[in-house]
Structure 1
Amino acid sequence: MFGGGGGGGLNPRKMQQMMKQMGIDVDELDAEEVIIRKSDGEELVFQNPDITVMDARGQQTYQVVGDPESREGTAGAVEDADESDDAGSSGDSEIPDSDVEIVAQRTGATEDDAREALEEADGDLAAAVERLE
């Protein structure tokens, strides 16, 4: 695309100038650790990664470069809670108690009703309040 060979023919400074002309800002982000939690419960942990943030007209893209360590994450506990949801228990692990309290106080609803409204609204406080008002 740029000079053939996948952009390998351009030096980084020239590439950055071209991106700036296209309205793309590129910055480095200093971070100690990045954790990616996968849906299967596995976590990829990057220690001291190199992170590049590209902002193209308000849309930010993060590039994480490093060697991740794989470990079993906390998603297994969430999956267990999801299974218990199917059995009809409340989804305490999904909706923070503080959010439930906020919705209950704002609407005068019971905490159970507030939790149910939050679950139906996928945790969106404003939507839950709107449902109960």
Structure 2
Amino acid sequence: MFPGKINPKKMKQMMKQMGMEMEELEGVEKVVIYTPAGNYVFDEAQVVATTMQGATTYQLTGEARFEEAVPEIPDDDVVLVASQTGATEEAARAALVETRGDIAEAILKLAQQ
């Protein structure tokens, strides 16, 4: 972006003249981005806050791992699957979690056992 070598002190001064400030957030242990499908978790992330013209943006650097969201299973669904299969409520709930809340698939899964 800039030709040749630029002195970091000079660069910081130029950024300040343009109304731009950058600050690294110290001590960040974890950053989590929540989505309906699951969470992106960044352990030991490096985060830099940049403020320009009154707006702050955050730059995130690090390795992410994806943690799939566990669906909420209504108690009525658990009771229905348990009554249709003769399984315990714990087994019915586990089958529903495994099938991501699909009642028919959970019943078929338990019926095959």
TM-score bucket of the superposed structures, by smaller chain = 0.5 to 0.7
Taking CA–CA contacts closer than 8 Å with sequence separation of 6 or more, which of the two structures ends up with the larger relative contact order?
A: 2
The structural deviation recorded for 1:16 is 2.6
Residue deviations 1:24-53, cap 9 Å, x none?
1111112111001234x1211111211100
The structural deviation recorded for 1:20 is 1.3
Distance 1:58 1:72 in 2: 36
The 1:11/1:70 distance shift into structure 2, 3 A limit, reads farther
Count residues with an aligned counterpart.
73
**Runs of 5+ unmatched residues, structure 1:** 82-133
Distance 2:9 2:61 in 1: 19
The two structures have a TM-score, normalised by structure 1, of: 0.45
RMSD after superposition: 2.6
Aligned residues: percent identity? 37
The structural deviation recorded for 1:54 is 0.6
The structural deviation recorded for 1:3 is 2.3
Higher strand fraction (1 or 2): 2
Larger of the two Rg values belongs to structure: 2
The yes-or-no answer on 1:57 pairing with 2:53 is yes
The two structures have a TM-score, normalised by structure 2, of: 0.52
**Runs of 5+ unmatched residues, structure 2:** 75-113
Higher helix fraction (1 or 2): 1
